[in-house]
Amino acid sequence: MSGININEASKEELVSIVRQLHQRLKDNARRLAQSKEFEEQVAMLKRELGEKNAAVTALAEQNVMLSEQTARNEETIRELIKQIEELRDAEGRSASEGAAAGMRVLSPRGQQREQPSNSRTFGNGGVGGLGSAHGTGGDPASTAAATIKRQSEEIAELEHKVRELTEENMFYSKVAARRGAHEAREALRALLPDKGADSAEVEAVASLHDRIRALEDEGETLRRMLRHQEQEKVGLSKELNDLREELSQLELDLVTSERWKAEGVMNHCESPAALSLTLNDTSSTQGGDCPPSRTFA
């Protein structure tokens, strides 16, 4: 077309040239419209990308906040578990101190100290002195029982608080996992923005990712439950051993106190002072109204 002379060209050639130029103008106009449309799409995608980046930033900040809250909850749970263990140790010590107080009250040395002042009581009332001495030993036991009850209530409150914090921690973990899955899905959609087969692939990959995340969360939950059950098992085993030792000690104290009571009664009945006291009581009773009769050989 560039080699044709316009002055020498025929009418048909000029018409053909005009048609070609007109077609080129149409093509250029169409390409220009497409380029403008592409520019508008690029601007729209940039705006959407900015919005998604802002949303991702907000989600990241919330995730950090939830992670910090989870860490604080775990620290609180550890402190509460430590307090529960300390209270259980204090409960065991209180029970041991109560048993030791009972032993001190029922010791033979204490009975020997109280026996001179209570000898008349043995002569008149039998084993009433031993019963009263044994009854005074109930105050330390009742104090220990009240302390154990109060500490048991505190332990129950702390365990309830631990359960609440554990449930809250699990809730925060689930929220963080869901947000992580949402971010992963948005990232996959950003990598494959087209529709059709790519969108189906994105959904399949996203669902697989969600399934993997759900299985990971379930496994972590089961591991936490297993660790918690192991801790409870260790604590219950320790508490059971302490209760068994306390029961054995109480049985031993009971047997010892019964033996001391029996020995005290036997010693009192066989002592010369008790016999002389009985004879004096008998003679004074007989001589109160009439003198004793004398027989002369």
Predicted pLDDT at 195: 47
Predicted pLDDT at 4: 65
Q: b or e along 158-178 (b: 16 or more beta carbons within 10 Å of the residue's beta carbon)?
A: beeebeebbeebbebbeebbe
Predicted pLDDT at 225: 80
Predicted pLDDT at 118: 43
Average pLDDT in the 252-269 region? 82
Predicted pLDDT at 124: 41
For residue 15, pLDDT over 80 is answered with yes
Predicted pLDDT at 202: 63
Share of residues in the chain with pLDDT > 70 (%):
57
Highest mean pLDDT among 108-117, 132-141, 272-281: 272-281
192: confidence class by pLDDT, cuts 50, 70, 90: low
* 155 contacts 88 by C-beta, under 8 angstroms: yes
Predicted pLDDT at 114: 43
For residue 259, pLDDT over 60 is answered with yes
| Average pLDDT taken over every residue of the chain | 70
Task: Provide CB contacts within 8 A for 14, sequence distance 6+.
Answer: 6
Highest mean pLDDT among 22-36, 181-195, 282-296: 22-36
For residue 296, pLDDT over 50 is answered with no
